[in-house]
Structure 1
């Protein structure tokens, strides 16, 4: 890959929770529940459901290539010190998993690994709602910075993050 990734960072202490909380409220009003893997229960079945959803949503990432095997996904996502099920936000329509916002903990920041919504549910603000709902994870971790990065062709993800207050970093 020859292009530079777009690296973004948010000061979570300055995040306008009131402004973006409306997205969370709208989701709830539309019957979309937001929860975490910790609240649901971090079970092998739910880890498989997370894998399936992540794989589906990752297919739209420019130049993503083939997705990890389930075993490799588990090794990279769950079998690492940065994993915490409180940082895995799931959007549910009834029992259907329709979106995820996965954030990992690091020494002085949290890192948004992946945010995605199933195609049929896009354009309704669910990604912003999930990320807003998950902002409290930074507080749980005792940090005030959230980082992420995107392929430069992923304009919708970059735009969403900038709308939320993320700024470019080196």
Structure 2
């Protein structure tokens, strides 16, 4: 089955950060801390913890299939030129990692939202939105104009969250000859 992915983009120059600050405040007031892989230390044990969190959060993605092995994950998501530990935002509750938003800077000149996810036990509290705001700050700090992402069309909650932030449909790419 061929999936017609939902491709979205956000104009970072037009993004209204102040509009979404209340989500960050609310999460912090509830005891949620936000940090990055860079701040924690981009060490092997943290990379393994990120893998486990990403694997758990990805389980709900429609038609996701089997998740990477740890070695595949490291090779394809971490040990690449586009990986930057400053671009991996983590939500922490009582010392436990409960959410992540990974953003990369692409050689084509834009930022790409790789994955945003929250453990099922912590969903519905605005954490994805708050982490995505921090990911947007990261992309802006790197001088990017556009943040892109893509979703399976059945992942309506992620698509809705991105649209709420101001993401719009990406123009279809021309077919390759």
Give the TM-score category using the shorter length. Answer: over 0.9
Structure 1 segment 15-94 matched on structure 2, within 5 A: 15-94=15-94
Counterpart residue number, 2:105: 105
Rounded to whole Å, the distance in 2 between the matches of 1:94 and 1:76 is 30
Q: Does 1:153 align with 2:159?
A: no
CA distance in 1, matches of 2:132, 2:3: 26
How far apart are the structure 1 equivalents of 2:23 and 2:44? 30
Q: Which runs of 5+ in 2 are unaligned?
A: 173-177
Query: Would you identify which runs of 4 or more consecutive aligned residues in structure 1 move more than 2 Å?
Result: none
- Separation (CA, whole Å) in 2 of partners of 1:162 and 1:125: 14
Q: Hey, what's the Cα distance between the residues in 2 that align with 1:139 and 1:12?
A: 7
Determine the C-alpha separation between the residues in 2 that align with 1:26 and 1:47.
28
Give the Cα–Cα distance (whole angstroms) in 2 for the partners of residues 55 and 34 of structure 1. Answer: 20
- What's the Cα RMSD here? 0.8
Give 1:90 deviation, angstroms.
0.2
CA distance in 1, matches of 2:152, 2:140: 28
Q: In the alignment, what sits opposite 2:165?
A: 164
Residue 144 of structure 1, CA deviation = 1.3
- 1:3 CA displacement: 2.5
Deviations 1:79-131, CA, capped at 9 Å, x for gaps: 11000000000000021000000001113111000000000100000000001
Output the CA distance in 2 between the equivalents of 1:124 and 1:163: 15
2-structure distance, mates of 1:71, 1:98: 22
Q: Distance in 1 between matches of 2:3 and 2:111?
A: 24
2:131 is matched with which residue?
130
Q: State the TM-score, normalizing by the size of structure 1.
A: 0.98
Greater Rg by CA: 2
SS of the aligned residue for 2:130 comes to helix
Consecutive unaligned residues of structure 1, counting only runs of 5 or more, are none
Cα distance in structure 1, aligned partners of 2:167 and 2:135:
15
Q: Matches of 1:17 and 1:155 in 2, distance apart?
A: 23
